[in-house]
Amino acid sequence: MLDATPLLRAYARSRVSRLDRLDAVRAQERTLLRLCREAAGTLFGREHRLAEVASVADFQTRVPVRSYDQMRSEVWGDVFPRIDGISWPEPTREFAITSGTSTGNRKLVPEPKALMRSHMRAITDLFSFYLAATPRSRLFAGPNLVLLGATDLTEIAPGIIAGDLTGLGDRHTPWLVRPWRFTPRSVEMIDGWEARINRLAEAAVASDIRSISGYPSWLIFFFARLAEAAGRVGEPLSALMPSLELVIHGGVDFTSYRPIFDRLLAGSKAALRETYAASEAFVAADDSSGAHGMRLLADHGVFYEFVPLAEAGRRWPERRWIGDVELGVDYALVLSNSGGLWGYALGDVVRFTDRDPPRLIVAGRVERDLSAFGEHVREAELSKALGDAAAGLGYGVADFTVHAVPPDVDKVAGRHRYLVEFEPSLSSREAIAEIARRADTRLQELNDNYRVYRAHDLVVEPPELVSLAAGTFNDWMRRSGRLGGQNKFPRIMSHEQASEKAFQEFVKQCTIQQSAPECANG
């Protein structure tokens, strides 16, 4: 295969040089004004007087913040999915299927060609950051692998299709890089995400893979199948994929996965790079600078706003933008894009670590917190507390979920119950109890409210921790028909979800050990 790296590196250096000189504030304002001009003649544009928008402040006085459900009912209405000319002038023939991980409700996100071009441009910038910072890279001397979700596309109306964003994106891969993309067509067409990953692993055994990207849990699953396909279970990844130099991950908080990937990549030359990509926008990417946080992609046709958490959920909240955000403050992310989303509440919580260039981290989800007893603990805090506790004993967290266990009739206090897949699997009751203790202590350090509620075990008792067999969550998703695609097991479960008899029985079958055996069926 021709090594295209030198040519692409020249482009990468030029592009990164331009990005380093980019004034993000001016770029974001230009983006907003351009979006408003392009959509001024749509039904939405006329109703909200987008043609009159001359500044960010003008826009914020005309366009309220809306959730997906509000966009669908108030803006698109009964004609959905035939939304041409309603909120974006370009015909919309593709929709990305995505699900809220806490509710399971599916969304159909418009993906017209302009937005797909934005996604592709962001991916190009991600590789540009890496190539410009890695002068000895030979990334495009071999194939690059993307772990796709569902590749099947469903016709939801005549001439209109919907599918997983990775499957849709595969249709729009720039022709220039297609020769260096590894996904055999025969594998793409296999029905079922798990079967496709298994065949992909078999095909990859003899291939000179240079990079791989996917959700962390997908990557772990793939690496395990790769070792099985090669007949070399137990050997390091550096032996299975000796030319691998880049692992791209995103989609979930990486804190609990890092110890696992540190072990997987031990002895390998592969670098880890994080992305923040959603169906609605490719928001940010690791710019390979080593700085804390991912760089906001400010010139990709998406305008971003940031709502203080106390104002989240309001129709007319206080709204910041890149011109006036503060460092270290948690904001609910709101965006307007070239897919016809305007003042759209994405549901993520972000926190800026730098302003020039703007860098941020994903701090969790707006609506996903654990507060059965008034403790208000966010997903990111649970993930960090558990990840730190497990790492302290030399374990990684492959996956987990937490739910609240209400108090018994003769008690006032309830507790949190962690269901965890450890890497490697953990069966020592003493170690599990110690991780539970450390996670409890760490969470009190991270969340003052939780610390107050935990005082003297009066409102919230010490947590229970259950160690599950490897693959438990994937097995449950498979049984539920939701393995792969944009589906993710919720990190925080409602009491109703956790109390389902079928789920309880399944957990009991998969339990290796727990810190409070008398509470196993709580």
Per-residue pLDDT tens, the chain, 522 aa: give them.
789 999 999 999 999 999 999 999 999 999 999 999 999 999 999 999 999 999 999 999 999 999 999 999 999 999 999 999 999 999 999 999 875 433 445 789 999 999 999 999 999 999 999 999 999 999 999 999 988 766 678 899 999 999 888 778 777 776 656 778 887 656 766 777 778 888 889 989 989 999 999 888 788 888 988 999 999 998 999 999 999 999 999 877 787 678 888 889 999 999 999 999 999 999 999 999 999 999 999 999 999 999 998 899 999 999 999 999 999 999 999 999 999 999 999 988 999 999 999 999 988 777 667 877 767 788 888 999 999 999 999 999 999 999 988 876 456 578 999 999 999 999 999 999 999 999 999 999 988 778 877 887 777 899 999 999 998 998 888 887 777 656 678 889 887 788 888 899 999 999 998 886 443 333
**Phi and psi (nearest 5°) for 197?**
-65, -40
- Does the CA dihedral 428-433-438-439 come out positive or negative? positive
Whole-number Å distance between alpha carbons of 252 and 358? 21
Q: Do residues 336 and 342 touch, judged by C-beta distance below 8 A?
A: yes
For the full predicted model, state whether its pTM sits above 0.85. Answer: no
Q: Please state, in angstroms and rounded to a whole number, the distance separating the CA atoms of residues 457 and 227.
A: 46
What is the model's pLDDT at position 107? 87
pLDDT of residue 447: 86
Helices 216-230 and 472-479, packing angle to 10 deg: 100
What is the Cα–Cα distance from 245 to 225, expressed in whole angstroms?
A: 19
Q: Rounded CA gap, 462 and 447, in Å?
A: 15
CA distance 175 to 3: 16
pLDDT at 366: 77
Exposed/middle/buried for 459, CB within 10 Å: 0-12, 13-18, 19+? Answer: middle
CB 136 within 8 A of CB 143: no
